[in-house]
Structure 1
């Protein structure tokens, strides 16, 4: 069996307010966060995780995101799209077998429908909510992204439990971690070199991971806190490197593709 590798990419940044990430903090000051995505190179193919901001936002953010682009401002070039970045790093995009969605917020769906034949894996509760969100969440879900034609969706049911072994060999485990959204999932990747726990937006920053603050975007504060506790137990059992979802300071220290973990 060949070596499993984890590559980290960034689809530009997102300009927002500090309180969008730290609940009730910042007094309205501006902030800018990285928008990562990840690729696992497995002997059976490439697995893309999220895909970051859709490349359409490089040229027409308001056309793609509507009024949401007034207060969540995407900053990226066309070369920052997930497909172009993978190709620039020397990855053969025809090998993509799966697209795993941590959740379906607008800055995490950049890979949806970009890889013909790939199975797209998401929690069913997340898709159900994304297609019919409450009024205050409408701007977070872009229907043209999640309803792209010809996408092969695979829905994880709540009754299946909190952990799903994606490939059946223990290398990629999807972990239910609701709170940020109703159907959020984090991803544990076991590479040839180390274990990496992609918390994604279950912990936007290490302050959320360390229980020093609540995230600004929440479906449920209670679920968010309990999901971090669950993920901390996973980390303790596996010794994994924890990667927060949008932490500028931590992200600056991460190895980027073509380097890998």
Structure 2
């Protein structure tokens, strides 16, 4: 598979509360969100964008995630692991050249270390924070995901590496969007037929965040979170990009899922 395609997947769902997604909203109401990840196929080697929930967490949430599993309740079968799903497309882990991480929260790191030959791309500030987070953020980072041996990490340096062009051809560009996490990145894709497609990831969980009606339920900086959305909105307006938010159950249901793809 050497043509450029974007596949959208999900590693099950998380059951939580509205206020976990929309700050101070919902009055304790339940909320169910998809947990996406993405695969970009490319002639120069494929890129896995995030990795959803680790299969170890699906197998035994309490053991692998600890107390946070009582807040973010996993609804996932082991067959929905990221590697298990891409293999159904005939793509092997060794076919993946890059593993790109928007950030290192527990619902994005399911592929860390499962693609041993890939270069793992992440913001240095995010990697360092994940190793020593502030007390209120500690539950969002699973050290068993991150502390895996023999990983080839490639660190980006915040604004110095803003709009980092992974392939050097404009197909996949990272956008530094801190706020939800200190080293959060969104992703801009330029696909041959679809054109520009912006993955906000968790810079905007839902259209409410994107349209500036709600703050994310979890932030490292509310100010940075707001400004990152403004930055992405300006980019989307300029490029007329298709926008895909991070965990919006209504919007996610309208998108093509693997084995269908965007090209």
Instruction: Please say which of residues 153-162 and 114-123 is displaced more in the overlay.
Output: 153-162
- SS of alignment partner, residue 229 of structure 2: helix
- SS of alignment partner, residue 36 of structure 2: strand
- SS of alignment partner, residue 202 of structure 1: coil
Give matches, 1:49-88, under 5 Å.
49-88=49-88
* C-alpha separation in 2, matches of 1:80 and 1:159: 35
How many equivalent residue pairs? 260
Report if aligned partners of 2:176, 2:185 keep a CA contact under 8 Å in 1: yes
* C-alpha separation in 2, matches of 1:33 and 1:158: 29
* C-alpha separation in 2, matches of 1:92 and 1:135: 38
* C-alpha separation in 2, matches of 1:144 and 1:192: 38
* C-alpha separation in 1, matches of 2:233 and 2:106: 26
- SS of alignment partner, residue 83 of structure 1: helix
Question: 2:197 aligned with 1:196, yes or no?
Answer: yes
* C-alpha separation in 2, matches of 1:246 and 1:91: 25
- SS of alignment partner, residue 10 of structure 1: strand
Q: 1:93, CA displacement in angstroms?
A: 3.0
TM-score (norm 1): 0.97
The match for 1:229 is: 230
Q: 1:53, CA displacement in angstroms?
A: 0.5
Q: 1:212, CA displacement in angstroms?
A: 1.2
RMSD between aligned residues: 1.0
Question: 2:115 aligned with 1:115, yes or no?
Answer: yes
Report if aligned partners of 1:97, 1:119 keep a CA contact under 8 Å in 2: yes
Q: 1:92, CA displacement in angstroms?
A: 3.4
The match for 2:32 is: 32
The match for 2:89 is: 89
Q: 1:158, CA displacement in angstroms?
A: 2.6
The match for 1:103 is: 103
TM-score (norm 2): 0.96
* C-alpha separation in 1, matches of 2:159 and 2:24: 35
* C-alpha separation in 1, matches of 2:159 and 2:253: 38
- SS of alignment partner, residue 175 of structure 1: strand
Report if aligned partners of 2:158, 2:183 keep a CA contact under 8 Å in 1: no
Instruction: Please say which of residues 56-65 and 87-96 is displaced more in the overlay.
Output: 87-96
Question: 2:208 aligned with 1:207, yes or no?
Answer: yes
- SS of alignment partner, residue 203 of structure 2: helix
- SS of alignment partner, residue 130 of structure 1: helix
Q: 1:29, CA displacement in angstroms?
A: 1.3
Give matches, 1:158-177, under 5 Å.
158=158, 160-177=160-177
The match for 1:239 is: 240
- SS of alignment partner, residue 112 of structure 1: coil
Report if aligned partners of 1:3, 1:191 keep a CA contact under 8 Å in 2: no
* C-alpha separation in 1, matches of 2:159 and 2:19: 35
Question: 2:251 aligned with 1:250, yes or no?
Answer: yes
Instruction: Please say which of residues 190-199 and 29-38 is displaced more in the overlay.
Output: 190-199
- SS of alignment partner, residue 164 of structure 1: coil
What runs of 5+ residues in structure 2 fail to find an aligned partner? none
